[in-house]
Chains A and B, each alone.
Chain A
């Protein structure tokens, strides 16, 4: 058996709960390969996840893992990082998790530019609860709560994250497994808040409802979207790294403040 599976997966908890052809499994595969590249001590890595199908990822990965409450993964992760800055933090969220219930935490984590890698697995739906529409369900697509197609607009996640202050932003499809792996490595090396939007697939609760064919066909479709998007149609349809900048990182700034405070000294206790 492949060494990377043995090293980074909790094999006794597989097979995972995800449906046949679910994109979550492909993302997790790319993640463990990125871990192979990064070579971190597993005890020094914390994987935090929200609630949803995607949220179950933490249970299968052999690191310190935390499966939090719906939408709040970044807030939990912020506490871990601030309390123990040496730990490497990876946060997995679903699109509902990150952009609906957790939208506030998302923009504030971006704004703080706290050193961690956030990965939004965007399958365009609330998979776990049976395929209701999410803020990321494309307009007109059907969902269990949008039987006539959704009428709502979406976020452009990378644009949102960039505007909110994230310092590395990328969009990548699961079709681009190798690029995904590279971007996870790059995001982790980046000092600051890195956000990857991974366009994934939910063949069961989204694909089926929208006549998108079997998992392989959905993946094939994504290939088409990526190919045509690459032709410079602007940020909205861009795949790959979108933005990177160097900005003061939260922990570093906090530590500078500690030095200042300690110069003044004199605690009352």
Chain B
């Protein structure tokens, strides 16, 4: 694909998943993610893969986890109400360490809310939606092409770290159509799960140096037990204090130990900036436009675009914020990631959140006007 193509975010997401090796999709239709399911229903059979429309989102993620346990790369796509229903099984995937990707094309409001309007209001739910301490990775694309690239990355991270990965697209990116160019030298790299090479010497939930146990697939040469109960390294339930804490801690550090591999941000005129904007998803596009215009006016503005939302890019944010006079965090929610930014800023008074919850994008003008007030 060298020729520029007019593509949609949801379309790129589905195609990215296929390119990453996904051969199983299970889902339940919901606006604004439905195109993803539709594309899978068309393309997966051609590749000999499986598309399943399940009875609800609970079943969808359950089926995805089941498929992944046989060694297949598996994905589901939904929006807020469906994402809420998936939370219990998301926790199952986290504790049983089953690789899977959940695409959440975010829409506005709690409950049915505004099905066709964009928001970025599931950021905290992606991190803390399921109960209990657990680990998860969440990524947010800012362009249609990035919807492709980050879906590939989401699949890869899920496989490498044996975690559920949430792709947090907002409705703007999901439905946006824009020109996408794939250069001939751009190759999709697929990461594979660490396989169990010798079942005699390794255990299915073993504490390895990198924190990630080797994967034993159903239908392979070695039988094992997978449970959502807290388990020891053999995979069987344990009630021993030490074993319990070991598992919960490992689930945590298998991610925190690999931050340099997982966390991605993009800097745009950050170094010499006096005012830093921290943004993600479609809001980052407005932020970038605002930076360009501010610079034209001679104002030293910069943008730190968060590509990885969870684990939160703590180090990157605090480094970028050094010596800044103000940090603006525009979001299409009442201020979710701003809470995390505030947590790592040396001085909370530096933080200026901009929040829009009317289904409209935060505009460059809004950002510039806030900037004008403080700088």
Contacts and interface: CB of A to CB of B under 8 A. Distances in A.
Asked if A and B touch directly (CB within 8 angstroms), the answer is yes
B59 A269 contact: no
A38 interface: no
B47 to A, nearest CB: 6
B228 A78 contact: no
Interface stretch (A41-49, A132-140, A204-212): A41-49
Contact of B92 (A46, A59, A68): A68
A15 interface: no
Nearest to B67: A83
Given A262-B48, A268-B43, A79 B62 contact: yes
Contact of A265 (B46, B50, B56, B229): B46
B67 A43 contact: no
Contacts of B54: 75, 78, 108
Interface string A100-126: 000011001000000000000000000
Given A65-B225, A65-B226, A82-B52, A72 B89 contact: yes
B52 A87 contact: no
A267 B18 contact: yes
A80 B52 CA distance: 12
A269 B43 contact: yes
Interface stretch (A23-31, A144-152, A176-184, A253-261): A253-261
A181 to B, nearest CB: 22
A227 interface: no
Contact of B70 (A62, A72, A83, A261): A83
Interface size class of A (residues with CB under 8 A): 35 or more
Nearest to B64: A79
Given A59-B236, A78-B66, A80-B67, A66 B45 contact: no
B345 interface: no
B134 to A, nearest CB: 14
Given A76-B65, A87-B218, A62 B45 contact: no
A44 B219 contact: yes
B178 interface: no
A68 B219 contact: no
A266 interface: yes
B59 A82 contact: no
A108 B65 CA distance: 18
B48 A258 contact: yes
Interface string B62-96: 11111111111010000000000000110010000
A69 B55 contact: no
Among A42, A48, A67, A79, the most chain B Cβ lie within 10 Å of the Cβ of A79
B58 A72 contact: yes
A6 interface: no
A43 B221 contact: yes
Nearest to A44: B219
A115 to B, nearest CB: 14
A83 to B, nearest CB: 4
A42 B89 CA distance: 27
B229 A80 contact: no
Nearest to B221: A43
A252 interface: no
Contacts of B237: 59
Given A63-B223, A69-B89, A75 B63 contact: yes
Given A59-B227, A79-B65, A80-B66, A254 B55 contact: no
Contacts of A266: 46
Given A258-B45, A267-B18, A268-B15, A67 B66 contact: no
Contact of A105 (B55, B221, B227, B229): B55
Contact of A108 (B55, B64, B68, B72): B55
B15 to A, nearest CB: 6
B179 interface: no
Contacts of A77: 66
B52 A78 contact: yes
Nearest to A105: B59
Given A65-B225, A69-B89, A87 B63 contact: no
B111 to A, nearest CB: 20
A86 B219 CA distance: 9
B220 interface: yes
A83 B72 contact: yes
The 9 closest A-B pairs by CB, nearest first: A79-B66, A79-B63, A75-B62, A83-B67, A261-B45, A75-B59, A67-B227, A84-B70, A80-B66
14 contacts: A43-B222, A59-B236, A64-B224, A65-B223, A66-B66, A67-B228, A69-B92, A75-B60, A78-B52, A79-B26, A79-B67, A79-B69, A83-B67, A87-B218
Interface of B: 15, 18-19, 24, 26, 42-43, 45-48, 50, 52, 54-56, 58-60, 62-72, 74, 88-89, 92, 218-229, 236-237
Given A76-B66, A78-B54, 10 more contacts: A48-B66, A64-B219, A66-B69, A77-B66, A79-B62, A79-B74, A82-B67, A84-B71, A86-B219, A108-B59
